[in-house]
Each structure stands twice: as C-alpha cells, then as structure tokens.
A and B are shown apart, each in its own frame.
Chain A
Amino acid sequence: MPFKFFSAVCLLAFTIVTGTGVYGATDICAPGSVGASDAATPMTQTILPNIFDPHSPPARMIQELSWLVLGISGGLFIVVEGMILYGVIMYRRKKNQKNGAEPRQVYGSNPVEIAWTIIPLLIVFVLTLTTVRAIRSIELTEAPEGALQVVVIGHQWWWEYRYLDPNVPGGQVIVANELHVPINRPVWLRLESADVIHSWWVPALAGKMDLIPNHTNQTWFTAETEGLYLGQCAEYCGNQHAGMLLRVVASKPADFDAWMQTQIAPTVNDPSVAMGRDIFQEYACSTCHTIKGISDGQFAPDLTHLMSRQTIASGVAPLDPATLRAWINNPQELKPGCNMPSLQLDSQELDAVTAYLLTLR
C-alpha cells in the first residue's frame, strides 16, 4: 500500500515537473504550417516521446510495470537514505567525546546480517517474477491477428517502410520516413537494416527495438489515439544519429485507406515541369532515389509521392518549397554529414528540379 501511494506521488511530481514541456509543445511541422495540404490525415495532436504518456498496449504495460518498479526503488531509496542520514546525524562525534575513548566495537550480528540478505532476496524474487510475466505479455513472437504488416529498414540516416500488401503490384508499398497507420489495429513491424545498427523508438507506442544488419527483429504496437507520434533513432549509428527522427501518423481507418490510395496511385507526370524531370534523370539524383517510372535508385528515400509527406531529411526540416530548394542546393547545410551530395546545380536548374518535385503528389 505505501508503495502504491509512493508511486502516485512520483506520478504527480513527474506530471507537474514535465507538464509544461509536454502540453505546451509545438512541432516544427505542426499542421497548417507546411505544404502538406493533401496529406490524407487531418492531424489532431502531436504526441511527444514521453514514456509516461502511453497510447498503445506495449507502452501502457511498460508504464504500469514502471510504477511498481519506481515504487519499490523509491521506497528503498527513502528507507536506506533515511538510515544513512539518521546514522550520520545521530552518531557524529559529540563535543565531550575525546580522542582515544573509542565507542563500543561491534564486529557484526548474525540475525541482522541474515535479515538484510533475506529481505533484498525477497524483493528480487518479486521483481524477477513480475519482469518475466511482463516480458511474456509484451514480447510477441508472431504477428497479432489481423495486424498491418510493415517492414522497417534503417538506413544512414533515414527510415524506409514497406507495407506488405498482396493486392498491389509487387506485393508492397514503399514509403519513407513517415509511417502511417490506422488506429486501433495492431501494427507488426519487421525490423531490418541496410547498413549499421539503428533502433526504432517511439516511446508513446512501444519500447525500442534494434534494426540489425543480417538479423531480423520484430516489434508491435496498436495506436489508440489519432495524432502524430514523435520519436527518433535510439542506437548510435554515425554522424547524423541525431538527425534520424521518427514520425508515425495514426488516423481513422478510412483516412488511412485514403492515404494508402495516394501511395498506390501512379506517378504524377506534369509536362509543365519536364525540364526539372530531365535534370533529375540526367544528374546523379536518379542513382539513389526512386520515382516510379522515372528512376529506380535504392540508396535514398523513394520520392514518388514526396508531397504527401510533411518533412524532408528524415524529419529534420519541414517540406516547403524554399526549404526543399535549399536542401537540394546543399544538403550538408541542413544535415551536415549526411550521404546526399550537393550537385552544384545553377539557380535555374535548382528552380526546375524543385518545381518538378513539388508536383509529386
């Protein structure tokens, strides 16, 4: 009972302390501020990466477990620090105690020592059982019934998502950096890496899981609230580890289906921006980027439906015409150390390529 009370106090303190940070937050790409007018999902709220604000079963189970753990460790902290404090204050040398007059020497006490071996053992026993049970209920080895299946591939320094769907040509729908999911439906992620180790961590949805080359991992979540969930790569992966941000958009099933239709739709081919498209094809852009029917590069994000995203550079910058142009002009300015080179385009070419990309809805 005291543990529960203590957990409640911890919760309260934590909410008070972090409250302003959590609810007064704004995202660089908050709805309305960017050119994502045709994103199929009207955004309701931005959900910050706070592990105590769960919106999915795994994250909630972890939060419930964490109250128990925080309660036990908090209780131990207060008891033992209290003992230290009491000892330090009560057994200070008094003014009337002289050198040489030593206190009584106590060499030990079997009952006391056995007590402070047994009690921690009992606590450890409880913690172990609780932990094992929680591991069993969170760590699934097979996809939940009716789950949306997505392969996540970590790249230096961006995310690739492949929706497995037997009904589309090729069996998969490939998008980059922004994961869209329907609410209240389990999402089963298969995690892989194209280069080094990354880690997929959206705290409000689930604990982190690593993406390891030549080794497949799984994780799952069920988003329960509509909104934009934030997170970022949690395993150091080189220069731009900090610039590998995660964005998950959870929306009503109908909105999700509408978004999926935009991703399946054929590439927009607007003759008025043919010059930009030619530059894209002739220069090195096409070596790395795929635009369906135009190019098939594998090293960088798929741009077929670029304009259905809110951000570029893996969430580092908002997707608006000026930023996009600056990004193409010199990616090292926005995201120093990233793998995209500056192609030294002149001003006219830059305008043309930017105009072309802006048509890719």
Chain B
Amino acid sequence: MTTAPIHPINEADMGLGSRVHSWVISVDHKKLGLMYIGIGLIFFVIGGIEATLMRLQLLKPLNDVLTPQGFNQMFTMHGTTMVFLVGMPILLGFGNYLIPLMIGARDMAFPRLNAFGLWLFIFGGLLLYYSFIGGDGLYGMGGAPDTGWFAYSPLTSKAFSVGHATDYWILGIMVSGFGSMTTAINFLATIVCMRCPGMKWMRMPLFVWLMLTVGVLVLVALPVLTGAQVMLLFDRFLGAHFFDPQQQGSVIFWQHLFWFFGHPEVYILILPAFGMICEIIPVFSRKVIFGYPLMVAATLSIAFISLGVWAHHMFSIGMPPWLNSIFAASTFLIAVPTGMKIFNWIGTMWGGQIRFTVSMMFATGFLVMFLFGGLTGIMLAVVPFDWQLSDSYFVVGHFHYVLFGGTILAVFSAIFYWFPKATGRMLSEPMGKWTFWLLMIGLTLAFLPMHLSGMLGMPRRVYTYQPGRGFEIWNLISTIGVPFQILGVLLFVINVIKSLIHGRVAGPDPWDAWTLEWATSSPPPSENFPKIPTCTSARPLWDRKHPEDPDFFYE
C-alpha cells in the first residue's frame, strides 16, 4: 500500500470494526463507488443463481425442478435484479469512482447526497429481496413477485397479484430509483461545475461525456417509472383505476409509461459501457481516440433518439400502421450513431500497437458481441419481423448479447483496467485470460441458441415447453453454457481476493495511460490530488509524456 503522509489515518492499523465503520460513514466518492460496485457484484451472483435455476428447469421439456410460480418468480427477480441492482449500481459506481478523478476534482459536488444515494440503493435492494419472506400476504400466495420485470398491468392489480409481492417490487425499485436520481444530479453538478482548470468541454474524457449523458437520461426517464409506480400503488391501495380495465383504465397506458422509462434505461445500461471502451481501447492500442468530436455528437444523438423509440417494445399491441412506422424509423435511426461509435473504435485500433491485456481482450469481446446484439436489434425493429420475434426467445438472446456481451464484458474490461488504480495492486493476467475465454464460450453457448429456439416458435417466460417442437437441443445447449459462466465468475472472484493480498504492486500508472486519474497515486489519497492538476488537452498525461508532440497542437 502506498500511503501518502497526508493520510490522516492509516486504514491498515485499524481494527475490523472501525474499518467497517469508516466505510459505513464514508462520504468519499471512491469508497462509495467501490461499495456500489462490490454490492452490485454480490447481486450479480444472486441474479446468476436465479438464472442457473431457470436453465436447470429448461434443461429438458416438461422438467420439474421448479414449480410454475417458482420459475415465474425466478425470471422476475433475475430481470429486476440484473437491471436495477447489478447494471445500474455497478455503472453508477464506476461513474462515482472515476468522474472526480478524471476531471481533476477532490470529490463529487454533493458528497453526503452521494452517500444517501448509495444507502437508498442498498435498502431498496434489501426491500425487494425481503419479498421472499414478507411477500405472502395471504397463505399460499407465494413470496417474491412473479409479474415479470416490466410488471405488465393488469397482472399487477389486486385481482391477479394477491399478496404483497408486487408492493415489495414497487417499493424496492422506487427506493433504489430515488438513489439513482440523486446520483444523476450529483454527476451533472460535478461535471458541470468541478472540472479542473483547463478542462474545457471538448477536453473531457469520453467516459465523462458518456456519464453526463447518462445523468440526463436517468433524470428524464426514471421519474416516469416512479410516477407510474405511484399510480400503481394508488390502484392497489386507494381504489384508483389508472390501469384497471374494468373501470375504463388502460393497461396499455402502463406499457407506454414503463417503456418510456424502459428504453432510455437500456441506454443508461450501455452508454457507461461505451464510455469505458472509449477509455480502454485507445490506451491499449497506443492511439488517441479516432474522431473525438463525432463520438461526442454520436453520444448526444443516441441519448436524444433513445427518448423517442419506446413503443418498439409494443409492436404487437395493435398500434395503427402509421404509429408502427414512426417507431420503426426512429429505432432504425439510432443504429446510425451507434454504428459511428463502433467504426470509430475500429478506427482507433487501426494502425495501433495493440497490447492484449485481459482488459483489452474483454474490450475486443465487447465489440464482437455487442455488434451481434446490435444487429439482431435492427431485425427486431423491422415491425412485421418483430410480430414473429417479439416476446420469443429471440428477444431473450438479443438482449443478453447486448447486456451480457455488451455491458457486462465492458464492466469486466473496466475492472481489469481500473482495479490497479483502486487497490494499488494488479489482477492476475493468466487467471483473467481463463475468465475471459470461459465467459466467451459460456455466453455463446447460452445465448446464441436462444435466437434459434425463438425462431422455432418458443415464447419467452415459459416455465416449460412441449417436446417435439425442435426446442430441446437448443435449450440443452443453452444450459450447457451455464457451468462455463459459473467457472469464469468463480475464477474472477478468486482472482480478486488473491490479488488484493498478493497482487503485484501497480504504481500510479501501470498502463502508461493518458487521463488524469493516472496522475495520482494508486490508490488515490482521500483528497485525490495533492494539488489540483491542470488540463492541457483531452489527454493531459500524453502532453506531459510527449512534450515534443502534445495533443493541444491538434485541437
């Protein structure tokens, strides 16, 4: 551990109790960020166990590992967990940890609000999981919610959801949602107000640009979900009829509200991943990012367009042809800025000297897998094709390629890249390579066959399927993918624990990188920088390392 003399307390000297205490009371953006990521990873394991149970149930037709309701609870909790308790906190955690370091600030704009957001997330997650114990309400009504992660009305009404499971779903997500909103406000305030001298807008690292955009999307999209959930609570407890078809309420209204949140949410989950890739590919290709201004423009247009595509989740509800056409067109349009990003990443690698560290391997894996998920997304936007594919296993395959092949691989890439900064020690590269290949094999085996079973007519969210329809082999292969993933994640956990204790000492700048977080010690002191740095270009450390050819010559 490199402990700078300015540290008021040396953590290594403290007892376990006071160490835990120091984390609980912390308002330091780095500790909060790490707690977000750590707890997100714990929920990742829980969500993974739920997925494993589902895959065991679907191993063969008419299997009975889980009851129908048990299976329905598993996919509801798996989806809700992975989106709200894994994706969002891990990505917001990275934002928390990295934004002040990247823009040369001492902390976030509102440190205590930041801590408040973290604890709201944690308690929101606990509230959701308490439903396993407290959701019963009436005997035999079962524990956890079983309405699917998008909780379509009227399944969530008192008539069809009798216990308290749906209420735990509403409250848990609402509470952790408030946490995300406070974090988004913090991101915006920090990025707008606290950049170090010289860091103009067009000198911000792309990760910071992406997190700024995510902050805006969270603030626009999440309140709509919260509002819809309040209306649902009114329906359930105060006799309102927003979503009650028997009293002229509209169940489609819920879908519009949910997906007006839900589609930007998808971009909330993928834009930070883009940001990570934008930082990692240049460093390991030894080249500046190709087309920085275009990357910024693409980011902003993705965010803007993403607010106008939500009804492509609803092509089969019987919208009139003109409305279907509009949402198809806006959905196609979003492929253009997304494509620009992919091309610019390839342009960055082109002519470089690529170092295949584990982090870069995951970044390349991200490119390969995300491209596939993006292309199947274009297929789903072709409305008539979607009438066949929507709500089938094809969709399940598609979004797992985007969220696992995209977001989760980028997160692994980011963990291997920034772990040395956060802990002062390197992760083991050989073990990391095993993790990489196991995950790549595991996710291809698990998610590629889903596209086929979907095209053969297998709907999603079925607890079992009929023999003789051609689903058996694809489901079997999907389940075979699971042990590969389990092994990969297990190796990763061992890697983290081992490296924390025995890992090679990293030093401040192990990757010879260019952004400001590498200008301070690893781990950074609690005030981040002994002296606030000044920024001379989009790659301040490049300028220091190459005074003969600095970036600002080309601005």
Please state if B391 and A235 are interface contacts (CB–CB under 8 Å).
yes
A339 CB to nearest B CB, Å: 11
Please state if A88 and B251 are interface contacts (CB–CB under 8 Å).
no
A83: B residues at CB distance < 8 A: 346
A117: B residues at CB distance < 8 A: 294, 336, 340
A17-B449 Cα distance, complex, nearest whole Å: 11
Q: Determine if B257 is an interface residue (Cβ-Cβ < 8 Å).
A: no
Please state if B464 and A242 are interface contacts (CB–CB under 8 Å).
yes
Please state if A196 and B285 are interface contacts (CB–CB under 8 Å).
no
Please state if B288 and A124 are interface contacts (CB–CB under 8 Å).
no
B336: A residues at CB distance < 8 A: 117, 120-121, 124
Q: Identify which of residues 338-362 in chain B touch chain A, using a CB-to-CB cut-off of 8 Å.
A: 339-340, 342-344, 346-347, 349-356
Q: Determine if B392 is an interface residue (Cβ-Cβ < 8 Å).
A: yes
Q: Identify which of residues 148-189 in chain A touch chain B, using a CB-to-CB cut-off of 8 Å.
A: none
Please state if B328 and A132 are interface contacts (CB–CB under 8 Å).
yes
Residue of B nearest to A90 (CB): B350
B224-252 contact mask (Cβ, 8 Å, vs A): 1 or 0? 00000000000000000000011011111
Q: Determine if A336 is an interface residue (Cβ-Cβ < 8 Å).
A: yes
Q: Determine if A199 is an interface residue (Cβ-Cβ < 8 Å).
A: yes
A1-39 contact mask (Cβ, 8 Å, vs B): 1 or 0? 000000000000010011011100111100000000000
Residue of B nearest to A76 (CB): B375
A347 CB to nearest B CB, Å: 26
A91-B252 Cα distance, complex, nearest whole Å: 51
With beta carbons under 8 angstroms apart, the residue of A21, A88, A109, A336 that contacts B469 is A21
Please state if A91 and B351 are interface contacts (CB–CB under 8 Å).
yes
Please state if A120 and B339 are interface contacts (CB–CB under 8 Å).
yes
A212: B residues at CB distance < 8 A: 245, 251-252, 317-318
B554: A residues at CB distance < 8 A: 105, 107
Please state if B466 and A88 are interface contacts (CB–CB under 8 Å).
no
Please state if A77 and B372 are interface contacts (CB–CB under 8 Å).
yes
B431: A residues at CB distance < 8 A: none
With beta carbons under 8 angstroms apart, the residue of A65, A103, A236, A336 that contacts B351 is A103
A128-B330 Cα distance, complex, nearest whole Å: 9
Q: Determine if B512 is an interface residue (Cβ-Cβ < 8 Å).
A: yes
A interface, over-half SS = mixed
With beta carbons under 8 angstroms apart, the residue of A51, A102, A121, A238 that contacts B155 is A238
B399 CB to nearest A CB, Å: 15
Please state if A21 and B473 are interface contacts (CB–CB under 8 Å).
yes
A-B pairs, top 8 by smallest CB distance, nearest first, are A207-B387, A21-B470, A49-B457, A242-B462, A214-B245, A217-B318, A213-B245, A108-B291
B252: A residues at CB distance < 8 A: 212, 215
Given contacts A234-B392, A242-B462, contact A106 B367 (CB under 8 A): no
Given contacts A94-B353, A241-B462, contact A105 B384 (CB under 8 A): no
Q: Identify which of residues 183-230 in chain A touch chain B, using a CB-to-CB cut-off of 8 Å.
A: 191, 195-197, 199, 201, 203, 206-210, 212-215, 217-218, 230
B242 CB to nearest A CB, Å: 13
Q: Determine if A127 is an interface residue (Cβ-Cβ < 8 Å).
A: yes
B50 CB to nearest A CB, Å: 16
Please state if B391 and A239 are interface contacts (CB–CB under 8 Å).
no
A68 CB to nearest B CB, Å: 9
A243-B68 Cα distance, complex, nearest whole Å: 10
Q: Identify which of residues 25-78 in chain A touch chain B, using a CB-to-CB cut-off of 8 Å.
A: 25-28, 48-52, 58-59, 61-62, 65-66, 69-70, 72-73, 76-77
Q: Determine if B427 is an interface residue (Cβ-Cβ < 8 Å).
A: no
Please state if B340 and A48 are interface contacts (CB–CB under 8 Å).
no
The stretch among A133-141, A268-276, A281-289 that forms the contact with chain B is A133-141
Q: Which of A20, A73, A209, A242 has the most CB of B within 10 A?
A: A242
Please state if B340 and A113 are interface contacts (CB–CB under 8 Å).
yes
A170-B287 Cα distance, complex, nearest whole Å: 77
Q: Determine if A99 is an interface residue (Cβ-Cβ < 8 Å).
A: yes
A195: B residues at CB distance < 8 A: 154, 159-160
Please state if A73 and B378 are interface contacts (CB–CB under 8 Å).
yes
Q: Determine if B173 is an interface residue (Cβ-Cβ < 8 Å).
A: no
Please state if A134 and B160 are interface contacts (CB–CB under 8 Å).
no
Given contacts A87-B346, A131-B328, contact A234 B469 (CB under 8 A): no
Please state if B384 and A99 are interface contacts (CB–CB under 8 Å).
no
Q: Which of A105, A199, A214, A237 has the most CB of B within 10 A?
A: A105
Q: Determine if A345 is an interface residue (Cβ-Cβ < 8 Å).
A: no
Q: Determine if B1 is an interface residue (Cβ-Cβ < 8 Å).
A: no
A239-277 contact mask (Cβ, 8 Å, vs B): 1 or 0? 111110100000000000000000000000000000000
A230: B residues at CB distance < 8 A: 457, 469
Please state if B154 and A135 are interface contacts (CB–CB under 8 Å).
no
Please state if B352 and A103 are interface contacts (CB–CB under 8 Å).
yes
A239-B317 Cα distance, complex, nearest whole Å: 21
B192: A residues at CB distance < 8 A: none
A195-B29 Cα distance, complex, nearest whole Å: 49
B67: A residues at CB distance < 8 A: 336-337
Q: Determine if A81 is an interface residue (Cβ-Cβ < 8 Å).
A: yes
A56 CB to nearest B CB, Å: 12
A93: B residues at CB distance < 8 A: 286, 353-355
A200-B368 Cα distance, complex, nearest whole Å: 35
A124-B378 Cα distance, complex, nearest whole Å: 9
A141-B455 Cα distance, complex, nearest whole Å: 27
Q: Determine if A97 is an interface residue (Cβ-Cβ < 8 Å).
A: yes
A120 CB to nearest B CB, Å: 4
A17-B381 Cα distance, complex, nearest whole Å: 25
A233: B residues at CB distance < 8 A: 459
Q: Determine if B69 is an interface residue (Cβ-Cβ < 8 Å).
A: yes
Please state if A81 and B379 are interface contacts (CB–CB under 8 Å).
no
Q: Determine if B65 is an interface residue (Cβ-Cβ < 8 Å).
A: no
Please state if B388 and A207 are interface contacts (CB–CB under 8 Å).
yes
With beta carbons under 8 angstroms apart, the residue of A25, A49, A81 that contacts B371 is A81
Q: Determine if A331 is an interface residue (Cβ-Cβ < 8 Å).
A: no
Given contacts A62-B385, A121-B336, A136-B321, contact A49 B469 (CB under 8 A): yes
Please state if A207 and B316 are interface contacts (CB–CB under 8 Å).
yes
Q: Determine if A322 is an interface residue (Cβ-Cβ < 8 Å).
A: no
Given contacts A52-B455, A210-B317, A336-B67, contact A131 B340 (CB under 8 A): no
Q: Determine if B35 is an interface residue (Cβ-Cβ < 8 Å).
A: no
Please state if A135 and B325 are interface contacts (CB–CB under 8 Å).
yes
A132: B residues at CB distance < 8 A: 321, 325, 328-329
B171 CB to nearest A CB, Å: 22
